Structure 1
Amino acid sequence: MSKIEIKNLNKNFKFGKDKILKDINLSFDSNKIYGLFGENGAGKSTLMNLIADYTFPTDGQVTLDNENVHDNDKALSKIYYMNQNNMYPKNEKVKKIFELTKSIYKDYDVQLQDKLVKKFQLNIKTRFNKLSTGYKSIVKIIIALCVPCEFIILDEPTLGLDARNRDIFYRELIESYSEEPRTFIISTHIIEEIDKLVSNVVMIADGKVVLNDTSDNIRAKAYSVNGPMDLVSDYTKDLSVIGKESLGQYVTIDVMGSLPNKKVPSGVKVTKIELQKLIVNLMNKDGANDN
């Protein structure tokens, strides 16, 4: 089974000693869907660029099946990176871009491409630079789902897409993954839309990995405790608090870890936290710690 491993990786800013990424150690296993989360500037795009060999680490390395990906055509042929930059010829028609991609990838799925073109209602005779932001994303999405690569990295794949086309994308991604499992690494700020989709979660804050676990494990240890302030505060006093909201004498405290081995007080309600709220809480917590 193929695996991408990131070992002791550091990346400095171009003309400085300050680090964008700090001692990153991660692995991305075969046939899983990862959510890669973090605030703008946290280092997500830099990490994705390093995996795809678009930029180079200051220290450490990225390997695929124990081979360094840098200048390694064999390894890089297994990785496809859909990013926010427009890397296609601006004046080229979409049809020509598809043909060019097909000529590069031997087992490119033309049948799936044609199906997606119809579903997204994409006019392939349009020049790429004449497309809206959403339809530029759609062209990239179609290619990402059709290339025969084992690792697909998607950076804000739904940028500019309306609700209908976002729904098509997620449905087609699930169907494509079910028919031909491979690894997807999805970075997005619309966390609630991929909450039930991802099997693993990686979160980066201030250039460091602050969360790396299966989504099931994360959900199993993240809770909201709601009720009268005094009762909730007492019940959660020894827990790891990641968020707090107050409304009059009532409070909601979000915690991460094991719940106390004692009875929940009458009038206090304990519920699981949705992934979106959990990630936002952790972002705010790390941001508060930095100040």
Structure 2
Amino acid sequence: MNKIEVKHLAKRFKFAKKPLLNEVNFNLEENEIYGLFGENGAGKSTLMSMIADYNRPSAGQVLFDGQEVHENDEALSEIYFMNQDDMYTKKDKVSQIFSFVESMYQDYDVDLQAKLVKEFKLDINQKLNKLSTGYQSIVKIIISLCVPCKFILLDEPTLGLDARNREIFQSNLIETYSENPRTFVISTHIIDEIDRIISHVLLLQDGVIKMNGSIDEVSSKSYSVSGPAEDVNSYIDGVKVLDEEQLGRYKTVHFMDQLPDREVPASVDIEKMKLQKLLVYIMDRGEL
């Protein structure tokens, strides 16, 4: 079973008042889909780049099956990092870029590539620098889904994509994952668009991992309760509320706890708290 271990990882920049990352610890397990969340500047891109050995940490280590990834060609051949930097020659045609990547990977999925080119309506005879930001992202998405790596790191993969192409990306990610399971790590600000496909949540804040759990664990104890204020207050009495909204007599409260062991008033509705609501609360308040 393949696994990536991130141990005591830190990143400090010269002249910065505090480290960007400090004592970051977590594992990436085989065949999971992780959502990596955090505010702008939290260090998500830097963290992913260090996992893929694009960037060296100030302290700590990244292990693939117990071996350091740094300058480890065998380990790095199983890790693919899609980011928003200029990964390919801008003046090359898309077809040339695809041919180059295919030559680098023995089991590159050319059939899936052809399918995605058609669905995204991508003109492979265009030069990369002539494409819009969205279509440059699409080129990188196609490559990311077709490389035969066991760990795929996607940094803001839907940057510049319209709703149609975001849907194509998500549906194809689910389909290819079902047919050929491997680990995906998706860093994005559009939380509510990927919460239905991820299996695990990582929240990076203040240089550390603030939340690390399966989506089932998180959602099993995160609730939103709505109804007339007096009935809601009566039902949740004794529960630590994270946040609440009220409009007239109608009230909604959000909490991360077990449901009260009492009868639910007929006027009260209970649903799982949206992941975006929970993460935004933690990012705003810095705590649960």
Interval of TM-score (by shorter of Structure 1 and Structure 2): over 0.9
Instruction: Give the counterpart letter for 1:53 in structure 2.
Output: D
Instruction: Give the counterpart letter for 1:128 in structure 2.
Output: L
Moved more, 211-220 or 275-284: 275-284
Name the structure 2 match of 1:167: 167
- 1:237 offset after TM fit, Å? 5.0
SS of equivalent residue, structure 1 residue 197: coil
Answer yes or no: is the 8 Å Cα contact 1:241–1:255 preserved in 2: yes
- The 5 Å alignment of 1:144-183 reads 144-183=144-183
Runs of at least 5 residues in structure 2 that lack an aligned partner in the other structure? none
- The 5 Å alignment of 1:14-93 reads 14-16=14-16, 18-93=18-93
The CA deviation string for residues 85-125 of structure 1, in whole angstroms up to 9 with x for no partner, is 12211111111111111111121111211121111111111
Please state if 1:193 is matched with 2:193: yes
- 1:272 offset after TM fit, Å? 1.4
| Aligned equivalents of 1:241, 1:46: Cα separation in 2 | 34
| Aligned equivalents of 2:7, 2:261: Cα separation in 1 | 38
- 1:13 offset after TM fit, Å? 2.4
| Aligned equivalents of 1:236, 1:163: Cα separation in 2 | 38
| Aligned equivalents of 1:106, 1:134: Cα separation in 2 | 28
Instruction: Give the counterpart letter for 2:270 in structure 1.
Output: V
- The 5 Å alignment of 1:194-213 reads 194-213=194-213
Name the structure 2 match of 1:216: 216
Runs of at least 5 residues in structure 1 that lack an aligned partner in the other structure? none
Answer yes or no: is the 8 Å Cα contact 1:21–1:207 preserved in 2: yes
| Aligned equivalents of 1:36, 1:233: Cα separation in 2 | 34
Name the structure 1 match of 2:124: 124
- The 5 Å alignment of 1:237-248 reads 237-248=237-248
- 1:208 offset after TM fit, Å? 1.6
Name the structure 2 match of 1:256: 256
User: How many pairs align?
Assistant: 287
Q: CA RMSD in A?
A: 1.7
- The 5 Å alignment of 1:215-234 reads 215-233=215-233
Q: Identity, % of aligned pairs?
A: 56
Answer yes or no: is the 8 Å Cα contact 1:224–1:255 preserved in 2: yes
| Aligned equivalents of 1:16, 1:203: Cα separation in 2 | 22
- 1:190 offset after TM fit, Å? 1.4
Change in Cα spacing, 1:20 to 1:248, as seen in structure 2 (3 Å) is same
Instruction: Give the counterpart letter for 1:37 in structure 2.
Output: F
| Aligned equivalents of 1:281, 1:216: Cα separation in 2 | 19
Name the structure 1 match of 2:282: 282
| Aligned equivalents of 2:92, 2:99: Cα separation in 1 | 11
| Aligned equivalents of 1:144, 1:125: Cα separation in 2 | 20
- 1:236 offset after TM fit, Å? 3.6
- 1:251 offset after TM fit, Å? 2.4
Answer yes or no: is the 8 Å Cα contact 1:223–1:270 preserved in 2: yes
Instruction: Give the counterpart letter for 1:163 in structure 2.
Output: A
| Aligned equivalents of 2:174, 2:14: Cα separation in 1 | 38
Instruction: Give the counterpart letter for 1:46 in structure 2.
Output: T
SS of equivalent residue, structure 2 residue 216: helix
